[in-house]
Chains A and B, each alone.
Chain A
Amino acid sequence: MRTLIFRTVAPFLSSLMILFSVFVLLRGHNEPGGGFIGGLIAASAFAIYGIACGVSPVRRALYFHPMTLAGLGLLMSSAAGLLSIFAGVPFMTGLWVDVPLFGDTVALSTVLVFDIGVYFVVVGSITSMLLALEERSSD
């Protein structure tokens, strides 16, 4: 699989896919998209990079272990639901804040935090599974 063409293209392709995954994640706010599908795209980006350049560059590039990312995501999602205890509404109620930014208002919400958490859970768990498979098939 490690042809010159693939190895040259893979880093660009991966970075493009990760960018796209963030776009899909944020698009999920009001339109089709969201954390799960975004996370899958990001995980496949890491998988492509791993196939092209080997598993250890991916692990170096990620810096954190993928499962650590998954843990972070789980924490974020749970915390996003828990915030509603302070607003006196049931668990997982969406809370919204309008933040003025560059002359426009951006609606931030706990829903977004939850979705970013889902994104990390999916990226972390799927990447760690794919990397484990790639590590095994290469040796």
Chain B
Amino acid sequence: MEALMTLLVGIFFAIAIYLFLSRHIIRILLGVTILGNAVNLLIFTSGRLTQEIPPILSGNAAAARQMVTANPLPQALILTAIVISFSFFAFLLVLAYRAYQELETDDIEEMRFAEPENQQLPPLGY
């Protein structure tokens, strides 16, 4: 099971990196989403996969100790990572949209407002 998941994570990473290499921000944004999912799956696989019940204790505590439950920590980590990547993505979406409106391009190569191409040389002597 772990091997299969690892393969899936690898495919996700490959897609994400391919999209990241694009010149268009919208594709990079799609890459961000896939990258986030790839990392979450990776953490999930790192926590070992077991076909057990969810780690929610109910009923009396003595019986709960006998149960073999799934590892809750990777799930907590992933939840945090999902929250963060979600807010990140939301921000990047707004930013990309603003960039598209203000700069009138979503091509990285054409975004030269912060670093203009024909810069004046600094004074070359004292």
Q: Is the CB of A129 within 8 A of B90?
A: yes
Chain A residues 117 to 139 lying within 8 A of chain B, measured CB to CB, are 125-126, 129, 132-133, 136
Q: Does B20 sit at the interface, judged by CB under 8 A?
A: no
> What residues of A have a CB within 8 angstroms of the CB of B97 in the complex?
133, 136
Residue-wise interface mask of B (56-90) relative to A, using a CB-CB cutoff of 8 A (1 in contact, 0 not): 10000000000000000000000100010001001
Q: Determine the residue in chain A with the shortest Cβ distance to B57.
A: A30
Q: Is the CB of B94 within 8 A of A133?
A: yes
Q: Determine the residue in chain B with the shortest Cβ distance to A122.
A: B83
Q: Is the CB of A126 within 8 A of B56?
A: no
Give the A-B contact count at a CB cut-off of 8 A.
Answer: 17
Q: Does B11 sit at the interface, judged by CB under 8 A?
A: no
Could you say which of A32, A126, A132, A136 contacts B101, with CB atoms under 8 Å apart?
A136
Q: Does A36 sit at the interface, judged by CB under 8 A?
A: yes
Q: Does A104 sit at the interface, judged by CB under 8 A?
A: no
Could you say which of A31, A36, A125, A133 contacts B93, with CB atoms under 8 Å apart?
A133
A-B contacts, 10 listed (Cβ < 8 Å): A31-B56, A32-B56, A36-B79, A36-B83, A129-B91, A129-B94, A132-B94, A133-B93, A136-B97, A136-B98
With A32-B56, A133-B93, A133-B97 given, can you name 7 additional A-B contacts, CB distance below 8 Å? A31-B56, A36-B79, A36-B83, A126-B87, A129-B90, A129-B91, A133-B94
